[in-house]
Amino acid sequence: MEYFASMKQENEEEYREACEFAIQQTVCIQKLFSGDDGEIGLKAIDGITGHGNDTFDPDPYKSAYKAGKRAVSVILRDIIERDVKEVRKQMNERKENE
């Protein structure tokens, strides 16, 4: 489960619950940004966050601020491109290998 590998849970049940919740969030975000309206909304967010822009600025604080803004679009696009079926398959394979 590469998408959720960073989740550190105390036991397998908590890990699976966290993964299921993350999958639900992913599905909701994918639905939200599907279709023409979703694409328009995502383009608006890209414009606001500077998705296609360089984040470098001689002032390191401005550079960090720009990178943080840009990260919003990067994260949303990553979520939109996730393959939920593949994640569930990886969860099941992990269970079988235990």
Give me the chain's average pLDDT, please. Answer: 88
pLDDT at 38 over 80: yes
3-32 pLDDT, tens digit each? 556 665 567 788 888 889 999 999 999 999
d(CA 44, CA 35): 14
Q: Average of pLDDT values for 63-67? A: 97
Question: What residue spans define the domains of the chain?
Answer: 10-96
- Does 12 or 37 have the greater pLDDT score? 37
Q: What was the pLDDT predicted at 77?
A: 96
d(CA 96, CA 98): 6
Judged by average pLDDT, the poorest of 19-23, 53-57, 75-79 is 19-23
- Token pair 């590469």 is at which residue? 2
Q: What was the pLDDT predicted at 44?
A: 97
